[in-house]
């Protein structure tokens, strides 16, 4: 391995076999290897490109064996993945930004066909103008289509969530496609020391993919997605809803099983992580790599006696409605950090804000809530930025009006 | 009060005819001071050749347009029809729309004392051999003529459209009156013969017309409907992932020997079916090889039986058959069931040949693919039994 420097560590034993220097993309590739994926379809677009690079290298180096198909576009790429999944091959794809959007038709039908491949989305701003930096609107585009969608914050989580993702997606109670999103550049291209699980441990955790009665095979004659019209679509949507509801339970199961094999890596409620929230009065909630500066700001503000905390939302679909409502209604004020936009939507909030605010509406104790638009197009979100967000949120506790409801962070003005 | 008209038409070949009738009912009813609107069963829109489809028109003398729309619009299918027009009488055998609704009776939507208005050369009694019983009285009216089957998506201007308007005026003048039909056609086209065609159709369906072409159908008339109407499954009963059972692998020699999809047969698409003279067959395999719907079952003695439930009547087999009079397309209403022709022939070959020649009759009707030309009729001939028959000359083979 040229980029990822293999480093033998004496304290590594059990489920992890070694520690490598890997960026987010390479970590995903290792996850794909350990998941023993059968079919990979690829088409380049930055920042996802490095995932396909890493995978092709693993195959070329003889470390991994899979069908590796270069498609002529994302649309074909996603179709190949979908079809491979339908014949019971564990399949993998991925993209970024406008490439992801270009394959949208295939992405939508993969969900309706209830197939469970895993796609990585290296979040990227939607061109125009040409921009490589992170923005979450690309992955968010599938949020209402019947997908599983989660964000990771480190290469370690990225690797592990390839395994966890397949485990949840392929569960017969779920069988939904899995979107594994990660911040472009900040995570995809950020190298960290990553503990790499052993093949045996990965195998122990992740069962074989078995589409069973829905496997497309001459011995199991079925038609998938014929023209059905008005008399069938609504029932199919209802099935999709049921699967999304069941997924909430399966996600918990999967993390518990993962902890059993790999040690207590993740803690309940799994869908999100809380940091220093026990006695907090004011919290921020965000998605992705903003967690690092936000948690650092929390630590520093705590030293000054301020009761602040941070909630890192990992699972966006299914949305952890009950758990998050219960959690956030403990606080006096919540600041929602959006690395996405929804211009012209109610109160012109970001997408995450809409989801959180909607989630809190039935809560008995609704906290004050404000919205931050920040880090768009790969703009920094620094410790100072997150500190500023905490301060604005603290002020919101006393406010009756909607003044300062939305603040753009890091904007030149 | 609402009056509902349903127009049953053959997909593509009568698409424009069906829509034109719906449009003109709205125009004429509006000129009479009524509210009206028209729509089609939207799912039929990507229709295939010959698939039974529906167009609708709704008329009310007293409801505001929005209420009429609320009662009759934004629906997949209407619940009832005061007049059900049938533009091709072979649809009397039942219609199988999209989406696994099963084969439905042609008179399913006709209300008590309503009317089934059929374009046909047959008598009501002949059609009732195929039409399901209703628990109440209704009428069947025959508008004398051949089905107007145009080419792809075009309208064949053979006055069927004008005659249907006259026919509707005769069987339910509350929808459109013959005077309004005539004045509309004159104003619109300035062509007297169109108004006259409507009037002639109207006169032919009046009670005093000779021969009488309107018959009251009682609950004793018609047949017990042979097809099961499927019950659509609940959401938790369906396979997940938009999966439906497909054709199971399986093949045996002989009638019904190969597995086919029991859920979707499409047989009501056909207006004609291939009739076979097995004694003339040279076992060339072309019908079996060329059939787009795999309706031919090879038999142990080298012939090819036909499963008519899956035949859409495309005529490809008759087109490629190199032997004159071996495979001939015959009016679908000549046949009351879908029994195996090969078994019939094996049981009694002389009786079968007499039977099949009786069905074939003298006329050979074909539909050239040239758009808008409709049917051509030629004279057929009866071949002697079992003789070696000269192969069709090239110029006789349709391209």
Find chain B residues with C-beta within 8 A of A239's C-beta. 235-236, 238, 240
**Tens digits of pLDDT across chain B (399 residues):** 999 999 999 988 898 999 999 999 999 999 999 999 999 887 776 677 888 999 999 999 999 999 999 999 878 788 899 999 999 999 999 998 766 678 899 999 999 999 999 999 999 999 999 999 999 999 999 999 999 988 777 778 899 999 999 999 999 999 999 999 999 999 999 999 999 999 999 999 998 898 999 999 999 999 999 998 888 899 999 999 989 888 888 899 999 999 998 877 889 999 999 999 999 999 999 999 999 999 999 999 999 999 999 999 989 999 999 998 999 999 999 999 999 999 999 999 999 999 999 999 999 988 766 566 667 889 998 988 886 666 665 555 444
Picking from B240, B245, B249, the nearest residue to A239 by CB comes out as: B240
Mutate to test the interface with A, among B100, B230, B241, B261 (most CBs of A within 10 A): B241
**How far apart are alpha carbons B194 and B202 in whole angstroms?**
12
A224 vs B238: CB contact, 8 Å cut-off? Answer: no
Q: Kindly report the CA angle at B211 between B131 and B171, in degrees rounded to 5?
A: 60
A131 burial type by CB count under 10 A (0-12 exposed, 13-18 middle, 19+ buried): middle
Find chain B residues with C-beta within 8 A of A235's C-beta. 233-235, 238
Query: Can you say whether the dihedral through the CA atoms of B322, B323, B327, B329 is positive or negative?
Result: positive
A231 vs B76: CB contact, 8 Å cut-off? Answer: yes
B242 vs A219: CB contact, 8 Å cut-off? Answer: no
A113 vs B246: CB contact, 8 Å cut-off? Answer: no
Find chain B residues with C-beta within 8 A of A115's C-beta. 241
Residue A76 belongs to what H/E stretch? helix A74-86
Mutate to test the interface with A, among B104, B243, B244, B266 (most CBs of A within 10 A): B243
Q: How far is B102 from chain A (nearest CA, A)?
A: 13
Find chain B residues with C-beta within 8 A of A219's C-beta. 249
Cis peptide before A128 (omega within 30 of 0): yes
Residues in A 184-223 with any Cβ partner in B closer than 8 A: 213-214, 218-219, 221-223
Residues of chain A with CATH 3.40.50.920: 272-409
Cβ proximity of A343 and A126 under 8 Å? no
Q: How far is A272 from chain B (nearest CA, A)?
A: 29
**How far apart are alpha carbons A289 and A24 in whole angstroms?**
12
The tens digit of pLDDT for each residue in A254-270 reads 999 999 999 999 999 99
Whole-model pTM: value is 0.89
The backbone torsions φ and ψ at residue B391, rounded to the nearest 5 degrees and listed phi first, read: -70, 145
Q: Which CATH class is domain B267-396?
A: alpha beta
A232 vs B241: CB contact, 8 Å cut-off? Answer: no
Q: Specify the DSSP class assigned to residue B365.
A: E
pLDDT for the residue B373: 67
Q: How far is A226 from chain B (nearest CA, A)?
A: 7
**How far apart are alpha carbons A108 and A289 in whole angstroms?**
27
- Beta strands A6-7 and B272-276 are unpaired
Q: Does the domain spanning A6-262 belong to CATH 3.30.460.80?
A: no
Mutate to test the interface with A, among B97, B242, B247, B261 (most CBs of A within 10 A): B242
B239 vs A213: CB contact, 8 Å cut-off? Answer: yes
Instruction: Provide ipTM, 2 decimals.
Output: 0.86
Picking from B100, B238, B249, the nearest residue to A218 by CB comes out as: B249
Picking from A112, A221, A235, the nearest residue to B249 by CB comes out as: A221
**How far apart are alpha carbons B124 and B348 in whole angstroms?**
32
Give the CA distances from residue B329 to residues B297, B358, B390, in Å, rounded to whole numbers and listed in that order.
18, 13, 19
pLDDT over threshold 80, residue A5: no
Residues of chain A with CATH 3.40.50.970: 6-262
B243 vs A235: CB contact, 8 Å cut-off? Answer: no
The tens digit of pLDDT for each residue in B67-88 reads 999 999 878 788 899 999 999 9
A87 touches B at CB < 8 Å? no
B235 vs A230: CB contact, 8 Å cut-off? Answer: no
Cβ proximity of B283 and B302 under 8 Å? yes
Cβ proximity of A241 and B112 under 8 Å? no
Find chain B residues with C-beta within 8 A of A112's C-beta. 241-242
Mutate to test the interface with A, among B54, B75, B231, B240 (most CBs of A within 10 A): B240
Give the CA distances from residue B352 to residues B125, B278, B346, B348, B358, in Å, rounded to whole numbers and listed in that order.
25, 10, 8, 6, 10
**How far apart are alpha carbons A362 and A360 in whole angstroms?**
6
Q: Kindly write down the DSSP assignment for every residue of A182-213, as one continuous string.
A: EETTTTTT--EEEEEEPHHHHHHHSPPP--GG
The tens digit of pLDDT for each residue in A52-72 reads 999 999 999 999 999 999 999
Q: How many CB pairs under 8 A join A and B?
A: 74
Higher pLDDT, A387 or B102: A387
CATH number of A272-409: 3.40.50.920
Picking from B43, B238, B246, the nearest residue to A235 by CB comes out as: B238
B244 vs A222: CB contact, 8 Å cut-off? Answer: yes
Tokens of residue B384, six digits: 């002697």
Picking from B233, B240, B246, the nearest residue to A114 by CB comes out as: B240
Find chain B residues with C-beta within 8 A of A221's C-beta. 245-249
**A295 alpha-carbon distance from chain centroid:** 19
A34 touches B at CB < 8 Å? no
Mutate to test the interface with B, among A223, A242, A247 (most CBs of B within 10 A): A223
Picking from B241, B245, B246, the nearest residue to A114 by CB comes out as: B241
* pLDDT band at residue A1 under the 50/70/90 scheme: very low
Query: How large is the greatest C-alpha to C-alpha distance in chain A, in angstroms?
Result: 68
Closest alpha carbon within chain A to B244: A223
Picking from A213, A214, A238, the nearest residue to B235 by CB comes out as: A238
Cβ proximity of A363 and A329 under 8 Å? yes
**How far apart are alpha carbons B272 and B275 in whole angstroms?**
9
pLDDT over threshold 90, residue A242: yes
Q: For residue B215, which of B89, B147, B122 has the smallest C-alpha distance?
A: B122
Q: What is the mean pLDDT of residues A331-359?
A: 97
Residue ranges per structural domain of chain B: 3-217, 267-396
Cβ proximity of B89 and B127 under 8 Å? yes
**Hey, how many other C-beta atoms are within 10 angstroms of the C-beta on A99?**
25
B244 vs A213: CB contact, 8 Å cut-off? Answer: no
**Hey, how many other C-beta atoms are within 10 angstroms of the C-beta on B104?**
19
B244 vs A230: CB contact, 8 Å cut-off? Answer: no
Query: Can you say whether the dihedral through the CA atoms of A224, A228, A233, A239 is positive or negative?
Result: negative
A60 touches B at CB < 8 Å? no
A232 touches B at CB < 8 Å? yes
Q: How far is A229 from chain B (nearest CA, A)?
A: 6
Q: Kindly report the CA angle at A380 between A376 and A381, in degrees rounded to 5?
A: 90
The tens digit of pLDDT for each residue in A153-206 reads 999 999 999 999 999 999 999 999 999 999 999 999 999 999 999 999 999 999
Find chain B residues with C-beta within 8 A of A225's C-beta. 241-243
Residue B203 belongs to what H/E stretch? helix B192-204
Closest alpha carbon within chain B to A225: B242
Helix-, strand-, coil-residue percentages of chain A, each rounded to 5: 40, 20, 40
Closest alpha carbon within chain A to B236: A239
Picking from A224, A229, A235, the nearest residue to B241 by CB comes out as: A224
A355 touches B at CB < 8 Å? no
3-state SS string over B146-185?
CCCCCCCCCCCCCCHHHHHHHHHHHHCCCCCCHHHHHHHH
CATH number of B3-217: 3.40.920.10
The tens digit of pLDDT for each residue in A74-119 reads 999 999 999 999 999 999 999 999 999 999 999 999 999 999 999 9
């Amino acid at each position: 391995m040229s980029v990822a420097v293999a480093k033998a560590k004496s304290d590594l034993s059990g489920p992890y076999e070694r520690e490598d220097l890997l960026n987010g993309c390479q970590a995903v590739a290792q996850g794909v290897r350990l998941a023993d994926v059968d079919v990979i379809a690829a088409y380049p677009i930055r920042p996802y490109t490095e995932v396909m690079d890493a995978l092709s290298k693993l195959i070329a180096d003889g470390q991994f064996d899979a069908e590796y198909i270069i498609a002529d576009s994302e649309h074909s790429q996603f179709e190949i993945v979908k079809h491979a999944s339908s014949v019971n091959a564990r399949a993998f794809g991925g993209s970024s930004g406008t490439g992801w959007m270009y394959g949208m038709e295939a992405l939508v039908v993969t969900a309706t066909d209830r197939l469970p491949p895993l796609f990585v989305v290296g979040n990227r701003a939607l061109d125009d103008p040409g921009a490589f930096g992170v923005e979450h609107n690309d992955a968010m585009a599938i949020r209402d289509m019947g997908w599983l969608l989660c964000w990771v914050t480190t290469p370690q989580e990225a690797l592990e969530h390839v395994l966890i993702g397949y485990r949840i997606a392929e569960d017969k109670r779920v069988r939904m496609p899995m979107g594994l999103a990660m911040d472009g550049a900040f995570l995809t291209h950020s190298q960290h020391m990553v503990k790499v699980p052993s093949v045996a441990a990965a195998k122990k955790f992740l069962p074989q993919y078995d589409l069973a009665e829905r496997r497309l095979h001459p011995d199991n004659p079925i038609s998938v997605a014929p023209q059905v019209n008005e008399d069938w679509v609504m029932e199919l949507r209802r099935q999709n809803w049921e699967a999304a509801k069941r997924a909430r339970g399966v996600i918990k199961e999967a993390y518990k099983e993962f902890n059993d094999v790999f040690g207590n890596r993740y803690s309940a409620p799994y869908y999100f992580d809380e940091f220093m929230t026990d006695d907090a009065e004011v919290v921020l909630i965000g998605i992705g790599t903003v967690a690092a500066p936000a948690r650092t700001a929390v630590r520093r503000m705590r030293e000054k006696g301020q009761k602040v905390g941070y909630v890192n939302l990992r699972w966006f679909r299914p949305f952890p409605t009950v758990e998050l409502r219960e959690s956030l209604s403990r606080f006096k004020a919540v600041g929602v950090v959006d690395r996405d936009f929804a211009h012209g939507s109610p109160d012109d909030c970001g997408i995450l804000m809409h989801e959180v605010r909607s989630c809190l509406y039935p809560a008995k104790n609704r906290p004050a809530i404000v919205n931050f638009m920040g880090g768009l197009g790969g703009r920094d979100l620094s410790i100072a930025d997150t500190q500023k967000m905490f301060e604005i949120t603290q002020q919101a506790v006393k406010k009756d009006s909607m003044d300062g409801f939305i603040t753009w962070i890091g904007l030149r003005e | 009060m609402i009056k509902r008209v349903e127009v049953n038409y053959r997909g593509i070949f009568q698409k424009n005819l069906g829509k034109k009738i719906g449009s003109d009912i709205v125009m004429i009813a509006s000129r009479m001071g009524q509210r009206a609107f028209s729509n089609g069963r939207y799912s039929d829109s990507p229709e295939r050749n010959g698939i039974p489809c529906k167009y609708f028109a709704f008329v009310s003398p007293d409801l505001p347009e929005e209420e009429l729309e609320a009662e009759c619009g934004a629906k997949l299918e209407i619940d009832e029809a005061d007049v059900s027009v049938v533009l091709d009488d072979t649809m009397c055998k039942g219609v199988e729309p999209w989406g696994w609704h099963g084969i439905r009776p042609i008179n399913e939507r006709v209300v008590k004392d309503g009317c089934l208005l059929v374009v046909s050369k047959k008598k009501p009694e002949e059609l009732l051999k195929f039409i399901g019983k209703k628990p109440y009285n209704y009428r069947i009216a025959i508008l004398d003529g051949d089905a107007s089957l145009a080419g792809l998506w075009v309208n064949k201007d053979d006055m069927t459209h004008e005659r249907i308007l006259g026919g509707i005026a005769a069987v339910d003048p509350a929808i459109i009156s013959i005077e309004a039909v005539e004045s509309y056609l004159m104003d619109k086209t300035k062509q007297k013969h169109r108004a006259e065609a409507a009037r002639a159709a109207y006169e032919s369906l009046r009670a005093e017309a000779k021969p009488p072409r309107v018959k009251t159908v009682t609950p004793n008339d018609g047949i017990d409907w042979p097809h099961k109407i499927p019950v659509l499954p609940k959401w938790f009963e369906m396979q997940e992932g938009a999966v439906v059972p497909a054709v199971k692998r399986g093949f045996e020699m002989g009638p019904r020997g190969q597995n086919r999809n029991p859920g979707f047969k499409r047989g009501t698409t056909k207006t004609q079916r291939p009739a076979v003279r097995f004694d003339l067959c040279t076992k060339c395999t072309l019908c079996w090889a060329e059939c787009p719907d795999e309706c031919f079952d090879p038999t142990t003695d080298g012939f090819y039986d036909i499963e008519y439930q899956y035949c859409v009547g495309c005529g490809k087999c008759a087109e490629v058959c190199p032997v004159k009079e071996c495979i001939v397309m015959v009016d679908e209403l000549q046949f009351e069931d879908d029994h195996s022709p090969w078994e019939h022939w094996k049981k009694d070959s002389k009786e079968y040949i007499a039977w099949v020649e009786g069905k074939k009759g003298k006329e050979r009707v074909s539909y050239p693919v040239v758009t808008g030309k409709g049917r051509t009729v030629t004279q057929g001939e009866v071949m002697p039994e079992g003789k070696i028959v000269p192969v069709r000359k090239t110029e006789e083979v349709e391209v």
